[in-house]
Each structure stands twice: as structure tokens, then as C-alpha cells.
Structure 1
Amino acid sequence: MDVHGQQKAQEALDVEIKSFFDSAPPLRNIENVSEDLKKFIEMNSSGTRSARKVVCVTSGGTTVPLEQRCVRYIDNFSSGHRGAASTEYFLKAGYLVIFLYRKGTCQPYCSLLPDYPFLECFEFTHESGIQVRQPYSEAVKWAISEHHAAVADGTLLKLPFTTIFEYLQILHMVATSLRSLGPNALFYLAAAVSDFYVPWESMAEHKIQSGSGPLDMRLVQVPKMLSVLRSEWAPTAYCISFKLETDVKILLEKANAALKKYKMHMVIANELLTRKEEVTLVTDNENIHVRRDPKQVGDEVEKHIIEHIVEKHSTYVDNLDQKVSRDTGS
């Protein structure tokens, strides 16, 4: 595509993105999200914390409502385990984390707790009090201690979403808030984001009645916002996206295509059946195969993913700092 064609394509994408945000229902808690982000940035932009790196981890899957007063929806399923586990390792590596997560999905520090029901962890005492059951006592103590410490210290900010509209609006707010951090900002986009949606203005207001016969509904493609995240929202941030496929034979080809199309710094390629065991980190100049160690109890592939990312991100920041120094002659 020539320069003129690229310009036309970008203009068309800009129109799609503006139309999406203009027609999306406004966030109900936009003031709270904005205030939480502002406090988080201010708290961590003074004194020795000014040089600390901030990562936005997105986690879980988005929903696409089929009615404005939603009863039915299309769901991009994701347990959120990768995002939650990765958040723990980013915090351990010294990052400040904005955890943008789907309500009801996995949370940081909860991997050792039962998935359902959570109440299995507790029991009544003879004094009509409540205590943690013995099998879960250490896990609950650790989870509460680590979570409360991260929140109290201001190193973890949790922002929930459910729909595709909420997710993209909050992501936009986070990205523009982190723009001033330059290369110290990192985006780890692990959420399963819907490819198609029903525009709000063409959506049924009330519950769709089954007696009306077969359902004929037109889904519109969600504008590809990764490129505008890179070019406008946070142009010097380090950006990582994910590519999941069920056919391993096309996985790396798709990951490389996404790397070039959206100008990502890294695409993490994972195959559905083996995603908890191994992934490939795809960059411009190399592919890094990462596996968890099955012989090591409790070893997770996310631990090794984050170790590589921390190294790559540090190199990226150092290289940009050196370039600025050369350009300014300082």
C-alpha cells in the first residue's frame, strides 16, 4: 500500500474509532475511574518513585450486549488466570500495576484458593465467630497479606469492566493517563477482546422475544485500536499483545503479522491446548520459546514470561534514554 493508501486507511480507521466512542454508552462510574487513575499517577510520580515503571495488565474477556437492558450477550471467554498471575510477577519485579480486569475472573494472589465456592475456606467457631478452615489457612493468609500490602502501598490499582464498551473506554483513559510516563509505561494486553459488536444505537432496548422467530442480527467489526494505542494514546510506551490460535501451524505466522500490522514491540503466541505450559515471545529480531518447568512444584509459565519482558523493557527504556541524550546533546 502506498503512502496515499495508508493515509486513506488511517482516516477511515479514525472515523470508525470516533463513531465507536461517540455511540458507546457512557461509563456509569467514569468519575470514579478518572479520580482513581489521577490519584494513582500522582502518588507514584514524586520522589524516588518517579523512575518506577508502570504496567497496565488487561485480563479476562469482554462481553457484547445484545440488548441495551441486557439479558443476553456474546462472551469472549477467558478465566483471567494469565493476567492475574502476571500481575503478581510484575509487582514482584518492582512495577506499579493497573489491573484492568473482567468482573468475576481470576484475581491476583487467589490462585491457591478454591475457584468455587470461596466460602469453602471458612467455618464457624464455637463462639459464633468465623475462622479460616485449616486446609486453606496459609493460602488465605498469604493472599490477604500480599493483596492488602499492594493496595495499601499504592502499587496496585484494580479497574473492573464487563462489556466491550467499558473495556475500550477505560483502556483509552489509562493509556492517555500514562502517556506522560513515556517509555516507562508498559501495556500487557492479555484480555480476550471481542472482534465484533452490536452498535448501541441499533441495539434492541428491551429483551429480545423468542416468539418473534429466528434471530437475525448484524454484528459490526470492532475498530482495531492497537495501532492508535501505539501511535496516539501512548506512543512511546512498550506494548505487548497476545495471539491465541487452535492451529499451531499458523500461530507464528499470525503473531508475526500482528507484530507488523499493529507495530507491537512483542506478541505472545500461545496455542489453546498448551497455553499454560509454553508460549513463544515474538519480536522483530527473535522468537523466544518459553516453557514452565514441570519438575518444579508451583512453577508457572507466567513467571518466565515476565522475566523476559522485564529485561526487554529495561533495554527499551535505556535505548530511548540514550537516544534522547544524543539528540539533546546532554
Structure 2
Amino acid sequence: MSAPSLAAFIANSVSTSTPTVLITSGGTSVPLESNTVRTLENFSTGTRGSTSAELFLSSGYRVIFMHRIGSKLPFLRQIPSPTNVTPELANLIKDCPNPSVSTPIATFNSNLPNLYLLPFTTVTTYLSLLESTLKSLSPLDSLSIYYGAAAVSDFYLKKPPKHKIQSTSEGRSIANDNNIGEGFELKLDSVPKLLGDVKVWCPGIFVCGFKLETDPKILTSKVEKSIEKYGLDCVVGNVLGTRYEVCYLYDKGGAEEVRGRVEEGIVEGVVGRHMEYVCREGGSLNVCLEGNLIGGGKKERDERIWREMDGWKKGIFWGWERLGPVIGVALVYYIRRRKW
């Protein structure tokens, strides 16, 4: 059976009023020639994006995962392998007896009804795909999220040469290249900043941007300028050297520090802010009362509460969970038997 089209995937989200997040993940490539031999890379393994996709899925969201080809994919990233596991390869090895391989593949396949994969490589493909996907999401209005975790190139060549750039001055002379000399100068153009267009293409969408810096002194000021300039609802800010240990979730009210399991903290914070946003904007949510609630079912919520409690609080929680129904029945019996 062939995979549904993106339009059909989004139409299903609309018909069921299910919140849907567009996650961009991985780095972009900038070709230096039209017949590409050399490229400039914005490197990213896609770990944060793929991990976040898993967490959004477990929170009841549907996910459009726009990823760099070769970067990590949700669930399949967990397979111990030196190379990326593609869906095609996963299909071939799905019956592997090793549970460290078979379990992630089974989980990936079980989530496919709510996961749509959109691959890209070059920055120009990324920009075009982002615009068309956001426009397609517009019927979801406030139920949609843009979660821009991709490492997008800031510079590119608008008009790259047709053929391979020659490595020697003689070769460049033969190719009628203006850059003749022992060295080689490359002038790059700025990639268009599309954050300001996101709410133009999809007016009701909740926008979560990302800001990575190497200098912690300028992080907050850069984030605040982005929120003001582009109208972002929140921004994940991090410093390159500590991005796996600590991040900051910014909104117009300030910054919240996230430590430990960073991706869990980020997604939980974004989901909470999105729910508030939906309520303010008058949207409606499809909430499954059988356990697939936004933010987790009863079992997941109870487990999270239990982990965070002190010892004496756990005793009260345990006692109320077990004795509460008994006390309730006794009170009802007492009231009915009592002669007023």
C-alpha cells in the first residue's frame, strides 16, 4: 500500500481536529556548481529534531518530519549502527531477531499513520518545501506548530557556475573563470530569512524558532530581537558547547531553563504553550479519553507525578489512590442510612 500524499495527511488532521507539528531537522547543503561537485555544509545530525518528533507523537500530535537526507529519523535513530537507517533499510531488516533493532523498527512502523516524512538536501529545496508545506497546513489554523530545528545555511550562491570550479589558475583560465590567480575568492549571498513569512503562509500557526550561538553573552539579546522582529511564539536558545546539557525556552514573558533530558523539557514546554495558544485562539482539540491525551494519558501523568514526588508525598498519593474509593463508598452508605 502506497503512503498517503501530504494533502491527504493534512486533510486527516483537519477532519479529526488533531494538532499537527511541522518539524524541520538536519542541516542544509549549498552547491557551489549547478553540476554539483563541491558543497558547503551546515552540519547537523538531526538528533534534536528526531527525538522531538518522537516526543510530539507520544503527546498526541501528528508530525510532518522535514529532514535532511541521511540525518537521523524518529525511532530508527535508536538502532545501533554507524550509518543512518532509512525506512527502506528498516523494511528489509524488520524481522531481525535482535530486539535493539526490531523494537525501534516496530515502533517506527506503528507510528507511520501519524508521521509523514519529507526529505531535502539543498538549502534551495528546503526553502521551497518549507513554503509549500506551511501553505498546506493553513486549514489547521491554531492546531498547527512550526518547530524549526533544522540548521539552515545563512549563505548560498544565487547563481552558481554551471560546471565544476577548477582547482588551478590554469584550469580556471581555460574555463573563462573571472577568479584567476593562485587563490580563489567566493562571494556568497544571504539566504532569505523566512521566519517572518511563516505566519503569512499559515496565519494561525504557533511558531517555535531555534537560536544556536557560540557566544553565550549574545544569546538572550539575539533571541529577544528574533521574537520581536518575526513575531515568534517561543524560541529554543542554546550555546554550541552545552546544547545537550542545557537549553533556554524563551517567550515574551522571559526565559525558562531546561536541564537534564533537554528534548523532553523543550517539547513539554512547547506543548504547554501551544495548548494555551489554542485556547486563546478559540481552536478545538481532538482529545482521546482512552489515554492518548495531549501531554500523555492518565498512566503517563501518574508515572511522571510519582517520579517527581518526595517520599512522604508518595505515601499520601498511594493512600488516596487506594483508599479514596473506599472512603467515598462508606460516606455514601452513611448518608443514605442516616435518619435526618
| TM-score after normalising by structure 2 | 0.73
Q: Tell whether 2:78 aligns with 1:112.
A: yes
Matched with 1:208 is 165
Q: Name the CA distance, whole Å, in 2 between partners of 1:304 and 1:240.
A: 14
- Structure 1 position 271, deviation (Å): 0.7
Matched with 1:138 is 99
Q: Quick one: which amino acid aligns to residue 146 of structure 1?
A: T
Q: Tell whether 2:183 aligns with 1:217.
A: no
From the superposition, tell whether residues 312 and 71 of structure 1 become closer, same or farther in structure 2 (CA, over 3 Å): same
Q: How does 1:65-84 map to 2 (within 5 A)?
A: 65-84=31-50
Q: Name the CA distance, whole Å, in 2 between partners of 1:115 and 1:71.
A: 28
Q: 8 Å contact 2:120–2:126 — kept in the other structure? A: yes
Matched with 2:109 is 148
**May I ask how many residue pairs the two structures share in their alignment?**
263
Q: Name the CA distance, whole Å, in 1 between partners of 2:95 and 2:132.
A: 40
Q: Quick one: which amino acid aligns to residue 225 of structure 2?
A: A
Q: Name the CA distance, whole Å, in 1 between partners of 2:29 and 2:110.
A: 31
Kindly report structure 1 stretches of 4+ aligned residues shifted beyond 6 Å.
Answer: none
Matched with 1:238 is 206
SS at match of 1:68: coil
Q: Tell whether 2:12 aligns with 1:43.
A: yes
| Structure ID, larger Rg | 2
From the superposition, tell whether residues 275 and 118 of structure 1 become closer, same or farther in structure 2 (CA, over 3 Å): closer
Matched with 2:58 is 92
Q: Tell whether 2:266 aligns with 1:319.
A: no
Q: 8 Å contact 2:141–2:204 — kept in the other structure? A: yes
Q: 8 Å contact 2:13–2:19 — kept in the other structure? A: no
Matched with 2:198 is 229
Q: Tell whether 2:141 aligns with 1:173.
A: no
Matched with 1:19 is none
- Structure 1 position 80, deviation (Å): 0.5
| Higher mean C-alpha displacement, 102-111 vs 183-192 | 102-111
Q: Quick one: which amino acid aligns to residue 260 of structure 1?
A: E
Q: Per-residue CA shift, 1:78-121, capped at 9, x if unaligned?
A: 110000000000000000100000000111113332241579xx
| TM-score after normalising by structure 1 | 0.76
Q: Name the CA distance, whole Å, in 1 between partners of 2:161 and 2:19.
A: 44
* Identity over aligned pairs, percent: 38
Q: Name the CA distance, whole Å, in 2 between partners of 1:131 and 1:229.
A: 42
SS at match of 1:108: coil
Q: 8 Å contact 2:248–2:255 — kept in the other structure? A: yes
Q: Tell whether 2:223 aligns with 1:255.
A: yes
Matched with 2:335 is none
From the superposition, tell whether residues 185 and 131 of structure 1 become closer, same or farther in structure 2 (CA, over 3 Å): closer
Q: Quick one: which amino acid aligns to residue 123 of structure 2?
A: I
- Structure 1 position 234, deviation (Å): 1.0
Q: Name the CA distance, whole Å, in 1 between partners of 2:41 and 2:119.
A: 16
Aligned with residue 156 of structure 2, among 166, 190, 197: 197
Q: Tell whether 2:250 aligns with 1:282.
A: yes
Q: 8 Å contact 2:210–2:237 — kept in the other structure? A: yes
Q: Per-residue CA shift, 1:14-47, capped at 9, x if unaligned?
A: xxxxxxxxxxxxxxxxxx99x721121123332x
User: What is the RMSD computed on CA atoms of the aligned residues?
Assistant: 2.1
Matched with 2:88 is none
5+ residue gaps, structure 2, are 86-92, 173-181, 284-340
Matched with 1:16 is none
Q: Name the CA distance, whole Å, in 2 between partners of 1:255 and 1:313.
A: 19
- Structure 1 position 138, deviation (Å): 2.1
Q: Per-residue CA shift, 1:243-287, capped at 9, x if unaligned?
A: 001111111111111111111101110011111111000100121
Q: Name the CA distance, whole Å, in 1 between partners of 2:83 and 2:246.
A: 29
5+ residue gaps, structure 1, are 1-31, 120-128, 293-299, 323-330
Q: Name the CA distance, whole Å, in 1 between partners of 2:23 and 2:95.
A: 33
SS at match of 1:170: helix
Q: Tell whether 2:123 aligns with 1:164.
A: yes
